[in-house]
Amino acid sequence: MDVRQSVHSEHAKTLDTTELRKKFLIEQIFTPNQYTMVYSHIDRIVVGGIMPIDGEISFDDDIGKQFGVNYFLERRELGLINIGGPANIVIDGKSYAVGNEEALYVGKGAKALTFSSVDKAKPAKLYYNSAPAHATFPTRVITQDDAVKAPLGDVATCNKRTICKYLVPEVVETCQLSMGLTRLAEGSNWNSMPTHTHERRMEVYFYFDMADDTIIFHMMGEPHETRHLVMHNEQAVISPSWSIHTGVGTKNYAFIWGMIGENLTFDDMDHIAMKDLR
């Protein structure tokens, strides 16, 4: 497990490109026949990917010990979104089919989790976030038909996009985890602009559906002390509460957002005027 410590905003101002990438960028989300796991001290979020090809993948039996509990989800909830081929997920003996761009919410207390691909030629790619949880809510699959869809932006401002909200109160009950998928229309390349911060929540962006020769310039930092990270396909970035989080690509793309913190209010944002960015 890759552990990332919290970074103060004053400290972040002093970091060069290498150190910014080391502390905030998750370069490898998917590894064939394995799961990855990054544990951030920022609100105790866990981020990773599961890519089963030749058989089943399960979380290691001793992973709970690294969290000071008996098993991984003893005091946690988990949400995942599949960006690959169809998956079969078995949780405490019950099977769940999760297709492409469908989500699964797993409630606190789930002990035995196994993940497999229906077709090894089209392996599942299960991107997940996990948050500390205080209560147990039912595990369930969320399809695109279940999700709340919100079109936003405009071609004129290069940010026409559709937000697909999977783990939100209107769809499924969670303790503090919110997740969704945003897809930019062809010809658009800006996300979340005009930008904002979340004083009461942190967020992680996972960028995907990018060609090998395209990149994302992800903007971060305090509004008056912005920095950027160059990101490639299927990479994620951790965003503290004090940081803006927006990006522009050399071509349209998609990204998954995950938030945890004080509330589940999607539009609880502290907006930043364009003229105030530095």
pLDDT reported for residue 61: 85
Given pLDDT bands bounded at 50, 70 and 90, which one contains residue 266?
confident
CATH code of 2-276, in short, is 2.60.120.10
pLDDT reported for residue 63: 93
Which residues have a Cβ under 8 Å from the Cβ of 254 and sit 6 or more positions away?
181, 182, 183, 184, 207, 208, 209
Task: Return the C-alpha torsion angle 21, 26, 28, 29, nearest 10.
Answer: -170
- Give 214-219 contacts, CB < 8 A, sequence gap 24+: 214/249, 214/250, 214/251, 214/253, 215/249, 215/250, 216/247, 216/248, 216/249, 216/253, 217/247, 217/248, 217/249, 218/245, 218/246, 218/247, 219/195, 219/244, 219/245, 219/246, 219/247, 219/248
CA neighbor of 104 nearest in space, from 171, 36, 38: 171
Q: Where are the domains of the chain?
A: 2-276
Q: What mean pLDDT is reported for the chain?
A: 96
pLDDT reported for residue 248: 97
Express each pLDDT in 158-168 by its tens digit.
999 999 999 99
Task: Return the C-alpha torsion angle 128, 235, 35, 3, nearest 10.
Answer: -90
Does the pLDDT value for residue 85 go beyond 90? yes
Express each pLDDT in 185-225 by its tens digit.
999 999 988 899 999 999 999 999 999 999 999 999 999 99
Continuous H helices in 49-156: none
pLDDT reported for residue 55: 95
Express each pLDDT in 119-146 by its tens digit.
999 999 999 999 999 999 999 999 999 9
H or E stretch at 22: helix 17-24
Express each pLDDT in 15-67 by its tens digit.
999 999 999 999 999 999 999 999 999 999 999 999 999 999 999 989 999 99
